[in-house]
Chain A
């Protein structure tokens, strides 16, 4: 590291500021040290998360027998496997129209509508959805959560899909249309395959967002529809044991693997 710093200095340019490297170094420390500590303490054999007594897998073993936690994890997966595809489908349709539909009246409106869940603070969305379901009397348990997640996930699926549509080279499609002359076939054999990486990226992001969502689920979920983050929240409230760290570590690993997969994937294509 030190070696590297010296090397940089040698080739220092006007736009290299001294200290920025160190600053960035500390920044990443700030970002990752808490996560590393969280992971380390999940291997703590003590009952109390803060007092280190030795290395052990006992909290991971305990998770294997924790039925409530497993049910919550299953619920999270059910929700994400419904919400993410729904959100991706809607986002894909919207992106196609917004990018390819030429100019039309409601374009700006639709574009803004997609990103609405990002503008409204999550707590407001959460209580509004809670009131809404209570008011019109929809009580379908997990399906309520799925609906709320679908809405919230749409902008996250939308952004990569729109970006990849905009970046797409139109000449291929034009050429194809010359050859096939059929709009549907062009779409099916050219546009869709080209767009697939974007759609998959959107799906993955929507999936991660759904799995991670907490506040909306906390307010909307009723009996039997507790998701993993809500379960973790109740665990934290009951006391800070390394079991929370263990389940958190698994969740972190899951998200990071998915997002890394997405990243590698999008870099390749």
Chain B
């Protein structure tokens, strides 16, 4: 019997190792935001390179950071897509691999000059561009009498919105939006300013139906909520999917800008495959597939030639004149702990 149990154990170990070994060759584990990876792009990449791509999704920069932190430097992912300030944090925390030779990648020449060596990665050692856009809120124009011209419409909703409002599940963009609304600056270390942010969020919570960063368009389409914290491109996708009156607000106080990049988490196993993907995506034609799907702007100017008419005319992503786009920053620890505190206290 001991033999039998032992046999079972050995067999299962062999089976496990075998399956594990089989998974390692020619694969790429991509960890990306939900609804941010077009099938068409992946299929094209797989057809051209023979590398199989496996996509996992997350719903916020925070989730990504938490997952990378929790894995103690080996998350099993080969590529991830954080926003600019989180790239900075992750570099500082030692969570990213240096990627050698990004500047020498054949398609690097397509990257617009002002996006080569961006402030968060001046030597282009860690990242290649993915997409860029903004965060603000969107609403169903048919059911709402407001004009989306002030951030306060989101934070102090009118009675028609109250109870039909949804907010992102994670703090960074929401807190920044609150800063815009209040006229204070991002990464504030002033307790009084942060208290004001918290008061605003707590007051808003009374009208919030759900905190979620996923399935936003479905929630708006069903009418479950009529105003939702949103991203410009994703709201445009909602419009394309048939929610004609879905309007992305460009309030006078401004919108929160972000710039997402491909990075390689520490301990990535399929390094060559990951680099192949980075290079692949900088090709204008491929980048256009991504923008046509996710409806965000990108850092590859020549991709314009491959954009669909729909994308060229996408109304929600065109920033009106005079509306500031303020990019999120990596806060220092004091500011960061204030943000966390504000959010935890709001959520409780």
| A and B together in one complex | yes
Known pairs A92-B5, A139-B76, A222-B77; A238 contacts B16 (CB<8 A): no
Known pairs A78-B19, A223-B77; A85 contacts B70 (CB<8 A): no
B9 within 8 A of A: yes
Of the 9-residue stretches B103-111, B147-155, B212-220, which lies at the interface with chain A?
B212-220
Output the residue of A67, A93, A143, A222 with the most chain B CB within 10 A: A222
Which residues of B91-143 are within 8 A (CB) of A? none
Output the residue of B8, B11, B76 with the most chain A CB within 10 A: B76
- What residues of chain B lie closer than 8 Å to A86, measured between beta carbons? 8-9, 12
The reply to whether A224 and B70 contact each other, CB–CB distance below 8 Å, is no
Minimum CB distance partner of B27 in chain A: A224
The reply to whether B214 and A238 contact each other, CB–CB distance below 8 Å, is yes
The reply to whether A48 and B56 contact each other, CB–CB distance below 8 Å, is no
The reply to whether A188 and B1 contact each other, CB–CB distance below 8 Å, is yes
Shortest Cβ distance from residue B1 to the other chain A in the assembled complex, whole angstroms: 6
- What residues of chain B lie closer than 8 Å to A204, measured between beta carbons? none
The reply to whether B13 and A82 contact each other, CB–CB distance below 8 Å, is yes
Which residues of A211-258 are within 8 A (CB) of B? 219, 222-226, 234, 237-241
- What residues of chain B lie closer than 8 Å to A143, measured between beta carbons? 16, 20
The reply to whether A134 and B215 contact each other, CB–CB distance below 8 Å, is no
A168 within 8 A of B: no
How far is B19's CA from A153's CA once the two chains are assembled, in angstroms? 21
Number of interface residues, chain A, beta carbon within 8 A: 43
Contact of A192 among B1, B8, B77, B217 (CB under 8 A): B1
Using an 8 Å CB-CB cutoff, how does the interface string of B15-49 with A read, 1 for contact, 0 for none?
Answer: 11001100100010101001100000000000000
A121 within 8 A of B: no
Known pairs A89-B8, A93-B5, A234-B56; A223 contacts B221 (CB<8 A): no
How far is B70's CA from A209's CA once the two chains are assembled, in angstroms? 25
Which residues of A113-156 are within 8 A (CB) of B? 130-131, 133-135, 137, 139-143, 146
B163 within 8 A of A: no
Using an 8 Å CB-CB cutoff, how does the interface string of B296-332 with A read, 1 for contact, 0 for none?
Answer: 0000000000000000000000000000000000000
By secondary structure, the B interface counts as mixed
Contact of B57 among A137, A192, A234 (CB under 8 A): A234
Minimum CB distance partner of B79 in chain A: A223
A71 within 8 A of B: yes
The reply to whether A238 and B31 contact each other, CB–CB distance below 8 Å, is no
How far is B31's CA from A91's CA once the two chains are assembled, in angstroms? 37
The reply to whether B76 and A225 contact each other, CB–CB distance below 8 Å, is yes
The reply to whether B16 and A222 contact each other, CB–CB distance below 8 Å, is no
- What residues of chain B lie closer than 8 Å to A93, measured between beta carbons? 5
The reply to whether A134 and B71 contact each other, CB–CB distance below 8 Å, is yes
Known pairs A85-B11, A224-B23; A139 contacts B74 (CB<8 A): yes
Using an 8 Å CB-CB cutoff, how does the interface string of A68-81 with B read, 1 for contact, 0 for none?
Answer: 10010000001001
B4 within 8 A of A: yes
Contact of A222 among B35, B59, B75 (CB under 8 A): B75
The reply to whether B221 and A48 contact each other, CB–CB distance below 8 Å, is yes
Known pairs A139-B71, A222-B67, A223-B78; A237 contacts B34 (CB<8 A): yes
The reply to whether A134 and B78 contact each other, CB–CB distance below 8 Å, is no
- What residues of chain A lie closer than 8 Å to B6, measured between beta carbons? 89
Total A-B pairs, Cβ < 8 A: 119
Number of interface residues, chain B, beta carbon within 8 A: 46
How far is B7's CA from A56's CA once the two chains are assembled, in angstroms? 46
Contact of A85 among B8, B59, B221 (CB under 8 A): B8
- What residues of chain A lie closer than 8 Å to B71, measured between beta carbons? 133-134, 139, 222
The reply to whether A135 and B72 contact each other, CB–CB distance below 8 Å, is yes
The reply to whether A85 and B20 contact each other, CB–CB distance below 8 Å, is no
A201 within 8 A of B: no
The reply to whether B75 and A238 contact each other, CB–CB distance below 8 Å, is no
Minimum CB distance partner of B169 in chain A: A237
Using an 8 Å CB-CB cutoff, how does the interface string of A140-183 with B read, 1 for contact, 0 for none?
Answer: 11110010000000000000000000000000000000000000
Known pairs A135-B72, A188-B1, A234-B57; A240 contacts B218 (CB<8 A): yes
B145 within 8 A of A: no
The reply to whether B59 and A137 contact each other, CB–CB distance below 8 Å, is no
Shortest Cβ distance from residue A182 to the other chain B in the assembled complex, whole angstroms: 13
The reply to whether A239 and B214 contact each other, CB–CB distance below 8 Å, is yes
Known pairs A68-B54, A224-B27; A85 contacts B218 (CB<8 A): no
Interface, chain A (partner B; CB < 8 A) = 48, 50, 67-68, 71, 78, 81-82, 85-86, 88-89, 92-93, 96, 130-131, 133-135, 137, 139-143, 146, 187-188, 191-192, 219, 222-226, 234, 237-241
- Nearest first, the 5 A-B pairs at minimum CB distance are A223-B76, A223-B77, A222-B76, A239-B218, A139-B74
A-B CB contact pairs (8 Å), 14 listed: A48-B222, A50-B222, A78-B19, A81-B15, A82-B12, A131-B70, A134-B71, A135-B72, A139-B73, A188-B1, A219-B70, A223-B54, A237-B214, A238-B35
Interface, chain B (partner A; CB < 8 A) = 1, 4-6, 8-9, 11-13, 15-16, 19-20, 23, 27, 29, 31, 34-35, 52, 54-57, 59, 67, 69-78, 212, 214-215, 217-219, 221-222, 265, 267
User: 20 other contacts beyond A50-B222, A225-B76, A237-B34, with CB at 8 A cut-off?
Assistant: A78-B19, A81-B15, A86-B12, A89-B6, A89-B9, A92-B5, A93-B5, A137-B72, A137-B73, A137-B74, A139-B71, A141-B76, A142-B19, A143-B20, A222-B76, A223-B75, A223-B78, A237-B59, A238-B57, A239-B217
